[in-house]
Chains A and B, each alone.
Chain A
Amino acid sequence: MKTITFITSENDIIETQANSGSLMELAVKNKVKGIDGDCGGVCSCATCHVHVNQEFWNAVGGPSALESDMLEFDDNVSDYSRLSCQMQVSEVPDGLVLKVAK
């Protein structure tokens, strides 16, 4: 079981736990404000935009080319932006901290 923490733009801290699935699904299940996941996780809506805490960036890795294209035109993009629907719980480090972009 991994612990993943979401920090909303209103600075609410939501600590979640999971073994599998995408981080978008995890956030939606835990009603994290600002993560809507409208398209259900196919990288089409960019309503699951997060900023990865800098210390975890190398372990998480950057976006794919198509994900990067989606982020290019989104608001509040940073060097640490990812779409959480494209991040799997199984592939990210335990203790990961994400800031919701919206």
Chain B
Amino acid sequence: MKKSNIDDPFKEARETKGFGTMNDQNDPVTMILGHKDVRKCAHNWKTFQSGGDEIGRIVVPSEVHIRDTRQIPFEVDPPQHKSYRDLVEPWFKRPLEEEYQEKLTDIISIIVDEALTKGSMEVVSEFALKLQSRALTLLLNIPFEESELWISWGTHVFRSEDTALDGDKANILYDYIDAQIDKAIANPGVDLYSKLLASEIDGKSLTKEEVKGVLILTFAGGRDTVINAITNTIAYFADNPQALQQLRDQPEHLNSAIEELLRYYSPLTQMGRVVTEDTQVCEHAIKAQSRISMCWASANRDERVFENPNEVVLDRKVNPHVAFGFGTHNCLGATHARQILRILLNTLTQKVGCMQITDAKENIEDLDEFNRKVGFDSLQVAFHKL
């Protein structure tokens, strides 16, 4: 089996009962597995809530014990959600601007050139983490040098080597964001902190806590996910050199290739909700105050929707994947993530002839009933110039 493959561990449960169960820190989660059920639950924000009192509970694993700040707009329900989302949306669409894309192209070219010069590189820490961190300076509109500190934090903001949730590591991020907000108050600039501090909703300025909530979401939501997307993309093209050639010959397939890699690799396995009333999903009773999760990774392999779901079909034309979630809370960073992948694929086709995986340590998520590979802890790759 190719090292870049990711199996579908949910198939049997999805086809027989439609859900799975995961015990997460004694707060069990009913994992919804089918494409249609997942979209139905994501759509029904009244029954499956994001903005409840217990901050951090919709994340799996739960962050109830390590976070007190509400992530915004992520942990807010309509109608308040819309005010926040409308406020931040234009900023998170900046990756569509030409100048942003030029800077991102420079960032990615430098890293790819470095990989080609060195000849061999550990992709997670030396390629993906660096790329993700440097690209984040564009999204926040702050100096490039700031990325050096984030790179020094390592690959996981919340996770450490031995425990899934690491409160100390989370505090490094929260304290850092507090300090940056104070700096922006003292010296307002053109960065996201300052932009948010100067913003109002219904005539009221955003509080420091609200600004912090947006920034935590931006940092945490776009770290492991982007790192996994980049690493899996490199692994895929290393294992499938003909696919790189295919994109060189047919660049018109670039967009469908990006969406297909997102579907197949689904960098975020699942996202939770708190149930507000006794209800049913796929004929399974679900109690008020319990938790469900929408398993994007499973929905994206649903054979009722995707032909040959376990194959990467780079020119897949109709591809209603839910890799960025679905509905009200779909991923705010999707525009940024898509630009990273678009420019990465472009740069690889222009500069890289082929790549080989020489060593790999898989990153397997333990989901109780399931084990899902989400990417790599480390991936050593040999890079060869075109």
Binding site for B on A (CB under 8 A): 38-45, 64, 66-67, 69-70, 73, 86
| A44 surroundings in chain B (CB, below 8 A) | 259, 319-322
A69 to B320, CA, bound (A): 9
| B319 surroundings in chain A (CB, below 8 A) | 39, 42-44
A39 to B327, CA, bound (A): 14
10 A-B contact pairs sorted by A residue (CB < 8 Å): A40-B255, A40-B258, A42-B320, A43-B318, A43-B319, A44-B320, A66-B305, A66-B320, A73-B40, A73-B42
A40-B258, A44-B320 given; 14 more Cβ-contact pairs under 8 Å:
A38-B334, A39-B259, A40-B255, A42-B256, A42-B319, A43-B319, A45-B324, A45-B330, A64-B318, A66-B305, A67-B318, A69-B39, A73-B39, A73-B42
| Smallest Cβ-Cβ distance to B255: which chain A residue | A40
Contact check, B36 vs A42: say whether CB atoms are below 8 A apart: no
Which secondary structure characterizes the binding site on chain A? loop
A70 to B322, CA, bound (A): 11
A70 to B327, CA, bound (A): 10
| B324 surroundings in chain A (CB, below 8 A) | 45
Q: Which 5 A-B pairs have the closest CB atoms?
A: A40-B255, A42-B319, A73-B43, A42-B259, A43-B318
Contact check, B326 vs A41: say whether CB atoms are below 8 A apart: no
Binding site for A on B (CB under 8 A): 36, 39-40, 42-43, 255-256, 258-259, 305, 316-322, 324, 326-327, 330, 334-335, 338
Contact check, B327 vs A73: say whether CB atoms are below 8 A apart: yes
A41 to B327, CA, bound (A): 17
Known interface pairs A69-B36, A73-B327. Does A42 touch B317 (Cβ–Cβ under 8 Å)?
A: yes
| B259 surroundings in chain A (CB, below 8 A) | 39-40, 42, 44
Shortest Cβ gap from A45 to chain B (Å): 7
| A41 surroundings in chain B (CB, below 8 A) | 255
Contact check, A73 vs B326: say whether CB atoms are below 8 A apart: yes
| B320 surroundings in chain A (CB, below 8 A) | 42-44, 66, 69-70
A41 to B317, CA, bound (A): 8
Shortest Cβ gap from B297 to chain A (Å): 15
A41 to B319, CA, bound (A): 9
A69 to B322, CA, bound (A): 13
Shortest Cβ gap from A100 to chain B (Å): 17
| A66 surroundings in chain B (CB, below 8 A) | 305, 318, 320
| A38 surroundings in chain B (CB, below 8 A) | 334-335, 338
Shortest Cβ gap from B302 to chain A (Å): 11
A86 to B320, CA, bound (A): 12
Shortest Cβ gap from B59 to chain A (Å): 23
